[in-house]
Structure 1
């Protein structure tokens, strides 16, 4: 949808052009008129316009002054000037000011339509211009480190599409690490912040910690640092060479340097840090499990809980212990997806929600031998998610009519895990059904409000922008939504409503055609005639005569 504003102090010119564009179907246009530059600026301050078709010589502010103001409001707006004067000076000023075209009013309707079509083409071309593509490329270079950080944190959480794509992704994001070599993780935590440090100061301190660590590590190992949470940093480390002796030497160097880094940060930054580090370089497939282990290790630190330097225990675990560790990691990783499940619930994405729900519930099944404490964690995590949704949408009474909500907060009320899983699944299904019912109701209510407004304002402003303002939706989105829900475009509905009312008034016989045209929202009788004949194939007067004749025949 392209929004066009026509500006001229000659009212008949504005009306004729509104009529011209109102019946031109080559472009999807929403057309407005203004009778002065001041009125045009008022409209430009309320909504975005894509093309302005303006006279140059107008009382008060002329078209060239208006052009400068338009640039302040909407820099991408295309401007076409109409003038009754073929003056070279005007043309020069227009082109210097970035005008799109300059037309004489005597050139006719075809030239005006062609100019608007060309301006519309330039609007779309501007998005694909080389300059914008180059600017986007430069911006990508600036944000690439952020994208890399986000990708690696997703990988650590187990949310990455898969490490098979790692090499390609590393190349795309210019990652300094090697996808084919093992990686060792180290977590650093600021144990406490000094009271005088502001939020900005703390960000600066985290940046300084990263610099200090890299000063020590970079000569001997490859290093990439990421910030996660408000007081933690994650380092991903690799040896410079991949021979066994190189890995062992790099491992001793990393572990031995942790205390030095902590002491430097304490002396230079007046901050106390704790570290937990992996025991070995592991394949990237195992990095999420190591990340989970190091987080737990740091949280279980002994002593005062500050200034810790903890190394992951290196042990040759039996198959049973390895399976238990893997199982606990799967639960931790799946619980980390509760945020995504909340989004699926909120957005009504039922299939995606139950896919993740099934994965999480399966981890607590008796066949997996899950510890009862982990079952409780899984149950109450899901319970909090569903309860939060019910609270926000005030669904307790509705859901309570068909389900016993007293069981929700009591895991012991369920005789088995299968019973608890079925209960939570049924509750989630009820929430999706309620959301669907609510969406249908709101969609029906929206259509009703749109149609009532159109019905009661046929003589007034029925532009998409005005209707959107009334019902609280962006006009572009509203037109798409209305078409999806009804199968008819909103402009077509407005036109059919105006036509039906016009036919009704013509059949009544008491109003002249000029009054009928105003009653259904047309600025001129001429534009009403053109509209009516396009829709029915006959003129309004012919329609009235046929109706009168048909009525007389029926009475005989």
Structure 2
């Protein structure tokens, strides 16, 4: 659905166009109103508008100047001009600023709806072209290095991608890699000399080191590499496609890979005057062993190389990937993190995250007290972070379970931990959902109070300014909570107020119209009759 903005210095005309045309029939969901070009620009800065209908002749900034500003800042917005002047110069400037249409006042409803439909068609054509398969492929081609890096980082961090999805992405990114291929991984740390350089120089040196690696390995191997969050370079080493099985066996020998790695160290020191340390993994299967290979390399750098320089280490093949005595929990620390999900109130995602955490504990860790403690402290940390971030206290959010927190964990089984987590999480979730509801209820009250006290000038924009919210967000929240839009609410409130004034005062009809925001009495009479079936005078006489 599209969003429309109507701009004219005649409030009655704007109100008439906004409320009396069947905009929903042509896929318009929201209609915003502005009575000057400056007010229109304020709305445009805060709200994603698709189409603007503007009068040409307005005090201050004209409609033509307005669409020039729109064209400069929001090139995607379509503009339709309304004018009481059949002047070629106006039409010429409108064409220069790529106006979708130029209509003469008074404009018929059908004519205006057709013009907006034409603008919608232009928008659809433009976005279809932008999102077309051909454009998408061209964009992917330009951004291939970034996309490849993101994919490799995801695989290293253990993100689950189905075989079908992974093969599709590999093909799309033009990576000559077969699912199930054997592979090695090499972790590289650039040292001392390199990090004495400026940021611009180190980027060039990193690029040079990766080029040397490509040159050394390119004849028989494919390299796929990325810089990880620790500042290491991770190289995935695979045999080139089209080689015989005997050749692959020869190339995927750890000694052959180690010789290439030693050459890389030598040439980096010789030509770039710096040292690098390298750790080579055991052979693995792509992509099944990637995250385990990566964890092994990180751990080996930390435990076996540490702060030493210019080292080359190959991991022992006798160490198996399966049945490791101890390693970190995967789902507890893989993105999205639990504290981020709690902070943003993604409750369904929190449920899924906790399910994955407990499934991993039950299937792979049994009732290991170590892992139960690790999971407990991680969950408590995430909850504490989210609760304090929302300016709440643990004791208020956890209720009786806070005592358990103060006394420390006494869980002996995963079931006990899961039961406690479900309890505290459900309590906190209810508090946060009530808080959101209370916040929305408060917004509705402020909207209705302001509207009743400032009925003559009340509009979506003035109300949004009063409650300090984006008009688009306010409009959606109001409709979600009350079932009607703010424009409908204001229109109904104005008519009910008018009916009350007609019954209880002797004010003139034009005075009542002005009191509720209608400067044009004939327009007020039309709206009143549409609502009550009689004119204001007939209503008063009854």
The answer to whether TM tops 0.5 is yes
User: In 2, distance between residues paired with 1:155 and 1:438?
Assistant: 38
- 8 Å CA contact 1:83–1:103 kept in 2: the answer is yes
2:480 is the alignment partner of 1:500: no
Q: Secondary structure at the match of 1:285?
A: coil
User: In 2, distance between residues paired with 1:387 and 1:19?
Assistant: 52
Q: Which residue of 1 aligns with 2:374?
A: 377
Judge which range, 453-462 or 80-89, deviates more.
80-89
Ranges in structure 1 where 5+ consecutive residues have no aligned partner: 547-556
Residues 40-59 of structure 1 aligned to structure 2 (within 5 Å): 40-41=37-38, 43-44=40-41, 47=44, 50-55=51-56
Structure 1 pair 268–387 and aligned structure 2 pair: CA distance change class (3 A): farther
- 8 Å CA contact 2:217–2:223 kept in 1: the answer is yes
Q: Which residue of 1 aligns with 2:159?
A: 159
Question: Cα offset for 1:224?
Answer: 0.9
Question: Cα offset for 1:270?
Answer: 4.5
Residues 362-441 of structure 1 aligned to structure 2 (within 5 Å): 363-364=360-361, 368=365, 372-393=369-390, 394-399=392-397, 401-405=399-403, 407=405, 410-411=408-409, 413-414=410-411, 418-441=415-438
Question: Cα offset for 1:47?
Answer: 2.6
Q: Which residue of 2 aligns with 1:103?
A: 103
User: In 1, distance between residues paired with 2:121 and 2:363?
Assistant: 64
Q: Which residue of 2 aligns with 1:324?
A: 323
Question: Cα offset for 1:41?
Answer: 4.4
Structure 1 pair 266–533 and aligned structure 2 pair: CA distance change class (3 A): farther
Judge which range, 243-252 or 165-174, deviates more.
243-252
Question: Cα offset for 1:219?
Answer: 1.6
Question: Cα offset for 1:167?
Answer: 2.1
- 8 Å CA contact 1:220–1:250 kept in 2: the answer is no
Q: Secondary structure at the match of 1:496?
A: helix
Q: Which residue of 2 aligns with 1:226?
A: 226
Question: Cα offset for 1:284?
Answer: 2.3
Structure 1 pair 129–468 and aligned structure 2 pair: CA distance change class (3 A): farther
2:4 is the alignment partner of 1:3: yes
- 8 Å CA contact 2:194–2:202 kept in 1: the answer is no
Question: Cα offset for 1:502?
Answer: 1.6
2:538 is the alignment partner of 1:545: no
User: In 1, distance between residues paired with 2:536 and 2:422?
Assistant: 62
User: In 2, distance between residues paired with 1:261 and 1:55?
Assistant: 69
- 8 Å CA contact 1:44–1:73 kept in 2: the answer is no
What TM-score, normalized to structure 2? 0.85
2:289 is the alignment partner of 1:278: no
Structure 1 pair 391–501 and aligned structure 2 pair: CA distance change class (3 A): same
Question: Cα offset for 1:332?
Answer: 3.3
Judge which range, 108-117 or 512-521, deviates more.
108-117
Q: Secondary structure at the match of 1:313?
A: coil
What TM-score, normalized to structure 1? 0.83
Kindly provide the CA deviation profile for residues 49-108 of structure 1, in whole angstroms up to 9, marking residues without a partner as x.
63243336x788766555434422433343334445545555444334423333343675
User: In 1, distance between residues paired with 2:414 and 2:34?
Assistant: 67
- 8 Å CA contact 1:64–1:94 kept in 2: the answer is yes
User: In 1, distance between residues paired with 2:157 and 2:191?
Assistant: 23
Structure 1 pair 281–403 and aligned structure 2 pair: CA distance change class (3 A): closer
Q: Cα RMSD over matched residues?
A: 3.3
Q: Secondary structure at the match of 1:301?
A: helix
Q: Secondary structure at the match of 1:310?
A: strand
Question: Cα offset for 1:505?
Answer: 1.2
Q: Which residue of 2 aligns with 1:25?
A: 22
Which of 454, 458, 462 does residue 457 from structure 1 map onto? 454
Which of 466, 479, 486 does residue 462 from structure 2 map onto? 466
Which of 472, 477, 490 does residue 486 from structure 2 map onto? 490
Higher relative contact order (CA 8 A, sep 6+): 2
Question: Cα offset for 1:416?
Answer: 5.6
Which of 341, 344, 352 does residue 341 from structure 2 map onto? 344
Aligned residues: 529
- 8 Å CA contact 2:193–2:273 kept in 1: the answer is no
Judge which range, 84-93 or 273-282, deviates more.
84-93
Structure 1 pair 391–248 and aligned structure 2 pair: CA distance change class (3 A): farther
